[in-house]
Each structure stands twice: as structure tokens, then as C-alpha cells.
Chains A and B, each alone.
Chain A
Amino acid sequence: EVELVESGGDLVQPGRSLRLSCAGSGFTFSDYAMSWVRRAPGKGLEWIGFIRSKVYGATTEYAASVKGRFTISRDDSNNIAHLQMNSLKTEDTAVYYCSRWKHVQDHIDAWGKGTTVTVSS
């Protein structure tokens, strides 16, 4: 069974950094792109970015709202993806979901349960 488990969510002050992790199991992790999506309180889903699989160069793409502040990386030997978040803003407060992106068909086909990030002084 496919499972994605996020960790690392916390309460953090504006301007500080936080790193989220996503552990995947039940599938060949290296075959898939890994994506992050968030849902802020009272808002809808917002795609943050993804990292392609090595076959596709392990390249990254980001939403404009986080580009230059957030970095997605992957460690295929340990089946983990990371979301490094720097210069956090109050508007980054959200539930962050790790998700599996299916290449070629280009959609998200599996989601983690999410981890909560609260940015507040």
C-alpha cells in the first residue's frame, strides 16, 4: 500500500526556517516525482512545487509565491523528500501535504495526511 508520511511541522517565528520531510513506502520512490501542496486556513489547495525523478533529471519547479525561499530535495536511497522553507512569512501558515506526482500522465495520485506549519510571532 502506498504511504506518504510528513513530519517537521511546527510553530515558527516570521523570518525563520523550517524543514519538512516526507517518507514514502509501498512503491518505487525513485520512479516518481514528489510534490508539495498546501492549504492555508479558509483557503483552497495551492501547489508549491515538485522535484522530478532522476530519469527526468531530478529538476525542480516552484510556485512564484515560494520561489527563492523554498527548496525541494530528494534522497532516493532513503525514500525521503524534503521541503526546506526559509524566510517564512505569516502567509505560509498552512497544512502542508506531500504528494506523489505521476510523470507522463502528469497528476497527483497519492497524498500524505499533512503536517501543520504555523508562522507567528
Chain B
Amino acid sequence: DIVMTQSPLSLPVTPGEPAFISCRSSQSVLHSNGNKYLGWYLQKPGKSPQLLIYLGSNRASGVPDRFSGSGSGTDYTLKISRVEADDVGVYYCMQGLQTPITFGQGTRLEIK
């Protein structure tokens, strides 16, 4: 199984400041076809998860351009360029390269 490890697990951020979440996979999620099967999701309090980023760096429809994904191989980063109050919640990375599909432990973003 591919193990997904996120850091930090807790992230207090001042509004307007940037935030970075790291996700490391135990083996590469880069396929030979060039696709990186890495997605990012946000679960806001009391809500179901929502897709932010797919294939490593593609922003999902309706996601603000403050959110961006980067990385390759086993190391990926989600960047929020300017954090807003509405961004609070738990962020998860997920690999879709092979089953079992696996999620990171989650990173809880809170506003300072």
C-alpha cells in the first residue's frame, strides 16, 4: 500500500499570509503516462470533503486561484497564497495511482 504522510498536522495561519501543506508518498505516484495521481481535498467543519486540486496541479472548477498544487514523484505541496477565514478545515492529500486508494492523515488549518 502507498502510505501518504502530511505535514504539518496543525497549521495556524494569520489571514492574508501564505500557507503550505506538504504531502509525501511512500512510493512515486507519477505514472509512466506522465500523470501525477495526487489530489487535494478540503473538508470544512460540518461539511463533506470538496476537491481542490487533481493530477498534482490542476485546480478543480470553482476553486479560487489562491490555491495551487505542485510537486512530483513522492513530494507534493499545496499552497494557499493568501489565507482567508473561509479556508479553515482539514486538508487531505490522496493518491489515485493504485488501490487501495489512500489519504494522508489530514492537516487542520486554523486562523490565528
Interface residues of chain A, those whose CB is within 8 Å of chain B, are 35, 37, 39, 44-47, 50, 61-64, 97, 102, 105-114
Contacts and interface: CB of A to CB of B under 8 A. Distances in A.
B76 interface: no
A47 B101 CA distance: 6
Given A105-B55, A107-B54, A109-B51, A61 B99 contact: yes
A44 B106 contact: yes
B109 interface: no
Contacts of B60: 109
Nearest to A60: B99
Interface residues of B, number: 25
Contacts, number: 61
B23 interface: no
A29 B55 CA distance: 22
What secondary structure prevails in chain A residues at the interface with B?
A: strand
Contact of A108 (B35, B39, B104, B105): B39
B102 interface: yes
Nearest to A47: B101
B67 interface: no
B96 interface: yes
B37 to A, nearest CB: 5
Given A44-B103, A47-B103, A106 B48 contact: no
A106 B37 contact: yes
Please give me the 9 A-B residue pairs with the lowest Cβ-Cβ distance, nearest first. Answer: A106-B96, A47-B101, A107-B39, A44-B106, A61-B99, A111-B48, A107-B54, A45-B103, A107-B96
A107 B96 CA distance: 6
A114 B47 CA distance: 9
B35 to A, nearest CB: 8
A63 B55 contact: no
A64 B100 contact: yes
23 contacts: A37-B49, A39-B43, A44-B104, A44-B106, A45-B41, A45-B43, A47-B101, A63-B100, A64-B100, A102-B54, A105-B54, A106-B37, A106-B96, A107-B37, A107-B39, A107-B54, A107-B96, A108-B51, A108-B94, A109-B51, A110-B51, A112-B48, A113-B48
